[in-house]
């Protein structure tokens, strides 16, 4: 009799979500993302020299070390085996110019891992994307070092960058964000093609739109991410910049639209950062809303702030994910469609007429 009760109790045991089973573990998913990111690092080493590899290595090692030390100090189970810290380190490095001092990725890694991720409970508990939060803090604290040189500077692994006169001019993105003094500005097909292939300057991971698209296709085939956020993000930016260009540019200019898409951190952010499982909505409809919001904020920051607003746009939308999920999650069977606030008001009116 006791054995039968034990079996019945076992059948009635509950557990927390998610309730689905999959052969893919967190480690396998993270490994797929790493594979998709590696070609960008190889190309960056070709364009910028081995300095891009040094910055990336310091960033990755710092992120892993900070997570390991945090687990040891707080006496929590070690979590570096899930490779999430490696992803954070790579994305943080890819968002930096290759000319930054090597101590800066260490500072960014501390912000990303310790403050943004681990103090909130670790993987799955952070409110915003750790790599983008680290980049945003560095943008405000070390703005001069975070400036991308306008000319391709190839450096050795530990060679220090010495600013040269004329190297801090306009990049492809900043050239269209600063309105011309008079007339209209024409963009050449050759310039846009260089941006797509990766022969223009930029941060370590954003220069080659072609390789980012290759990584996007790989992640889609591996079913690591879905198309909803990247395509809605890029389509929103494309539509607005095509139909409503900034001052000094003509409407319906394909070259202007493609420059917005291929230069800056738009494609890197849309494919690898906005799709972060923890900080994006859980439903397909919510992800489309999230992508549209990221695209809209990016264009607004670029037009009125005259700077690449991808990081700030994604961080802002990360803070709205809870509300997007509340609106877009399907209604449970048998519950009211009215919002919770409206139901509470009706209940209060019934109790106190």
Per-residue 3-state assignment (H helix, E strand, C coil) for 140-151: HHCCCCCCCCCC
| Chain segment 31-78, per-residue pLDDT in tens | 999 999 999 999 999 999 999 999 999 999 999 999 999 999 999 998
Asked if residue 17 has pLDDT above 50, the reply is no
**In this predicted structure, what is the pLDDT of residue 317?**
95
Residues 276, 269 contacting (CB under 8 angstroms): no
**E-assigned strands of 143-285?**
none
3 state SS of 35: helix
In angstroms, rounded to a whole number, what is the distance separating the alpha carbons of residues 129 and 127?
A: 7
Joined tokens for residue 273 = 């950062």
Task: Please name the residue that has the structure tokens 């799955």.
Answer: 124
Residue with the larger pLDDT of the pair 160 and 167: 160
Task: Using alpha carbons, select from 44, 63, 145, 42 the residue that is nearest to residue 99.
Answer: 145
Q: How confident is the model at residue 329 (pLDDT cuts 50, 70, 90)?
A: confident
Return phi, psi of residue 49, to 5°.
Answer: 95, 180
Global confidence as pTM:
0.85
| Chain segment 128-143, per-residue pLDDT in tens | 999 999 999 998 888 8
**In this predicted structure, what is the pLDDT of residue 168?**
54
């Amino acid at each position: 009799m006791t054995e039968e009760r034990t079996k019945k109790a076992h059948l009635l045991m509950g557990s927390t979500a998610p309730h689905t089973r999959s052969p893919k573990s967190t480690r396998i998913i993270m490994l797929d993302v790493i594979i998709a990111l590696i070609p960008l690092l190889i190309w960056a080493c070709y364009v910028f020299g081995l300095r891009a590899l040094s910055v990336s290595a310091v960033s990755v090692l710092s992120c892993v070390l900070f997570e390991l030390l945090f687990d040891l100090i707080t006496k929590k189970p070690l979590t570096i085996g899930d490779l999430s810290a490696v992803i954070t380190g790579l994305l943080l490095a890819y968002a930096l110019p290759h000319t930054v001092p090597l101590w800066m990725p260490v500072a960014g890694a501390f912000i990303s891992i310790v403050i943004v991720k681990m103090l909130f409970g670790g993987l799955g508990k952070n409110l915003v994307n750790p790599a983008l939060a680290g980049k945003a803090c560095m943008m405000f604290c070390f703005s001069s070092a975070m400036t991308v040189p306008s000319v391709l500077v190839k450096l050795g692994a530990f060679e220090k960058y010495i600013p040269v006169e004329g190297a801090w001019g306009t990049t492809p993105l900043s050239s269209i964000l600063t309105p011309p003094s008079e007339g209209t500005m024409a963009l050449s097909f050759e310039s846009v093609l260089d941006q797509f292939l990766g022969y223009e300057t930029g941060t370590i991971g954003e220069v080659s739109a072609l390789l980012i698209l290759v990584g996007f296709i790989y992640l889609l085939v591996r079913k690591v991410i879905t198309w909803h956020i990247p395509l809605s993000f890029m389509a929103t930016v494309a539509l607005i910049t095509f139909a409503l260009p900034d001052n000094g540019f003509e409407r319906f200019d394909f070259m202007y639209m493609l420059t917005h898409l291929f230069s800056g951190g738009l494609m890197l952010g849309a494919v690898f950062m906005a799709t972060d499982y923890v900080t994006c909505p859980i439903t397909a409809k919510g992800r489309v809303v999230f992508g549209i919001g990221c695209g809209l904020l990016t264009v607004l920051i670029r037009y009125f702030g005259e700077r690449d607003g991808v990081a700030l746009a994604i961080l802002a939308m990360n803070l709205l994910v809870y509300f997007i999920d509340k609106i877009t999650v399907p209604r449970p069977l048998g519950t009211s469609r009215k919002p919770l606030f409206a139901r509470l008001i009706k209940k209060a009116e019934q109790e106190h007429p």
